[in-house]
Amino acid sequence: MHPMLNVAVKAARRAASVIQRASHNVDTIRVEKKQHNDFVSEVDRAAEEAIISTILDAYPKHGILAEESGAQGLGNAEFEWIIDPLDGTTNFLHGHPQYSISIGLLHKGQIQQAVVYDPNRNDLFTASRGVGAFLNDRRIRVSKRIAMNECVIATGFPVTDQSYIDQYLGMLKDVLAKTAGVRREGSAALDLCNVACGRVDGFWELNLKPWDIAAGSLIVQEAGGIVTDLKGEDGWLESGDIVAGSPKVLAQLLHTLAPHVG
């Protein structure tokens, strides 16, 4: 395992310890509302602190972009860690066991290392650029399905910013009509990992943040999948509009979404 990936795994496991201890007493957790349907808890912040301290102990000159504490040390940093300490906070606060820790490492504009950890299943997804994607040390690949009517597609609903709800509902209607089903589970990082290991055949969502998708996108790519924006281009990390899947499924999914893309 690459040394930087090893540090990311260590950081993810430390964050998971914080999260899972708190999961037994979710009713006592202090929660703040950042915006409509967007919450942050003391657990998010504690898990993020555990990740950042682990990374900076090993690489004190690296930059950080984290969901709760924002950017630090990015000015002259060659490496940038993109961190979501608890992807699926709403699930976590409701005792719904679908959430994850996501850590990606950006170097010269490319994501080079990625970890997504599901502490409930003890599923550790990792990837290094050019080396492949793994689930608990086992190599993973995207689904081999080709026919859209046999595919299950993951997505995420627009719950914080509903200004594009009509656009999204049009997409959802057309995807439902052409596939075997759509799943919405509440953690984009895990959705991408599920594409990578073939549990679902594709994924799309709008208006995500870099920490939601940085790590998961590399895991998909290293598992043989493709990640694009809604127009089939590379601006997904900046726009937050993302589509992922195996090459043949991705092409059909993009075609299905195209009438709703401005």
Q: Is the pLDDT of residue 36 over 60?
A: no
Whole-number pLDDT of residue 41: 76
Mean pLDDT, rounded, for 76-102: 94
Q: Which of 9-18, 25-34, 76-85 has the lowest mean pLDDT?
A: 25-34
Confidence of residue 1 (pLDDT cuts 50, 70, 90): confident
Q: How far is CA 67 from the centre of its chain?
A: 12
Q: So what's the pLDDT on residue 77?
A: 87
So what CATH class is 3-139? Answer: alpha beta
Provide the 8-state DSSP code for 140. Answer: -
Binding residues: 67, 84, 86-87, 212
Helix and strand element counts for the chain (H, E): 8, 15
Given a cut of 80, whether residue 38 has pLDDT beyond it is: no
Task: Convert the pLDDT of each residue in 206-262 to its tens digit.
Answer: 999 999 999 999 999 999 999 999 999 999 999 999 999 999 999 999 999 999 998
- Residue ranges of the annotated binding site for Mg(2+) are 67, 84, 86-87, 212
In this prediction the pTM is 0.94
CATH code of the domain occupying 148-260: 3.40.190.80
| Domain map (residue ranges) of the chain | 3-139, 148-260
Q: Are 232 and 192 in contact (CB under 8 A)?
A: no
62 alpha-carbon distance from chain centroid = 21
Pairing of the two strands 79-87 and 123-128:
unpaired
Mean pLDDT lowest among 20-29, 80-89, 148-157: 20-29
pLDDT at residue 79, as a whole number: 96
Note the pLDDT tens digit of each residue in 17-35.
999 988 887 777 777 766 5
The Cβ of residue 169 has, within 10 Å, a number of other Cβ atoms equal to 13
167 Cα distance to chain centroid: 22
Q: What band does 37 get if pLDDT is binned at 50, 70 and 90?
A: very low
Contact 162, 135 (CB under 8 A): no
Q: Where are any strands of DSSP class E within the chain?
A: 31-35, 38-41, 63-66, 70-72, 79-87, 100-107, 110-118, 123-128, 132-135, 138-139, 152-155, 181-183, 202-205, 226-228, 242-245
**pLDDT at residue number 43:** 87
pLDDT at 34: 63
Element (H, E) at 211: helix 210-222
Residue 12 pLDDT greater than 50, yes or no: yes
